[in-house]
Amino acid sequence: MSTRVLIADDQRLVRAGLRVLLEQHDDLEVAGEAADGAEAIALAQRRAVDVVLMDIRMPNVDGLEATRQLLGRHGDALRVLVLTTFDADAYVFEALRSGASGYLLKDAPEEELVAAIRVVARGDAIVAPAVTRRLVERFAALPERGATPRASLPDELTAREREVLAEVARGRSNAEIAEALVVTRHTVKTHVARLLMKLGLRDRVQLVVFAYESGFVAPGEDQAAGEIAPESDGAGAGRP
């Protein structure tokens, strides 16, 4: 079954280019095009949509507000993948907090974009490899409304779960965490699943956001300078 993709971008040429790219793949189908967030919300209401490719800077309703509204209405039935330019979009971190399953830079290779759509469509999360420690430090260091102090972490989190949370926040995969903590990959997956359940979060990206805005991990604490990688060993929607 094809993944139905809604393209939301205020630049007509960008939308046209993305449509041409996606239509080259039999497993991807363009469900529609929107020139702003309001149009994206309306189209998603009328048409079956699996993934929204969401620009941030758009007139009327921007991509950030559109992400909030879409995920508030559709929940896990719809995924948002943000396409952004690093220097221009200061709201990327907020978009991830709002529930977007990840983001890519607009200059990402075509094959990377197609792969990312497939990743988020199956319920995983992804962040562009080019977005490194600089991004985390830039956004995590901003004072955020409602930030939770370190002491307010749930008491039921075990010492091992806290270790795993710290490793996930540094962008490490299950295999890398397993090696660092000298446990099996299956054990790590179990801990990540329990963290998601206890914290009421959906995926690894939201775990990273929570870890930084809660103060559990601070910018500069030995983050891995890479991507928040999706796990490819069977993780599905809402799972590690």
In tens, the pLDDT along 64-116 reads 999 999 998 888 789 999 988 765 666 767 777 778 888 888 888 999 999 99
Three-state secondary structure call for residue 119: helix
pLDDT computed for residue 157 by the predictor: 92
**What contacts 124, CB < 8 A, 6 or more positions away?**
101, 203, 204, 230, 231, 235, 236
pLDDT category of residue 128 using cuts at 50, 70 and 90:
low
0.85 exceeded by the pTM?
Answer: no
Q: Which residues pair with 55 in a beta bridge?
A: 83
Tell me: pLDDT of 226 over 50: no
Tell me: pLDDT of 214 over 90: no
Q: Does domain 3-131 have CATH number 3.40.50.2300?
A: yes
pLDDT computed for residue 220 by the predictor: 56
Q: Does domain 148-213 have CATH number 3.40.50.1820?
A: no
Tell me: pLDDT of 131 over 90: no
∠37-125-12 over CA atoms, to 5°? 30
What is the C-alpha separation between 150 and 131, in angstroms, rounded? 26
Report phi then psi at 155, rounded to 5.
-65, -25
Name which of 54-68, 105-119, 198-212, 220-234 the model is least confident about: 220-234
Q: What is the pLDDT of residues 136-194, one digit of tens each?
A: 555 555 555 444 444 367 888 999 999 999 988 887 878 889 999 999 999 999 999 99
pLDDT category of residue 61 using cuts at 50, 70 and 90:
very high
pLDDT computed for residue 198 by the predictor: 93
Three-state secondary structure call for residue 40: helix
Instruction: Please identify which residue in the block is written with the tokens 């929607």.
Output: 237
Contact (CB, 8 A) for 69 and 43: no
What is the C-alpha separation between 228 and 139, in angstroms, rounded? 15
Task: Cite the residue boundaries of each domain of the chain with CATH code 3.40.50.2300.
Answer: 3-131
pLDDT, greater one: 115 or 223: 115
Q: What is the pLDDT of residues 175-189, one digit of tens each?
A: 889 999 999 999 999
Question: What residue ranges in the chain does DSSP mark as E strands?
Answer: 3-8, 28-34, 51-55, 79-84, 102-105, 126-127
Q: Tell me the average pLDDT of the chain.
A: 81
Task: Cite the residue boundaries of each domain of the chain with CATH code 1.10.10.10.
Answer: 148-213
∠59-62-64 over CA atoms, to 5°? 170
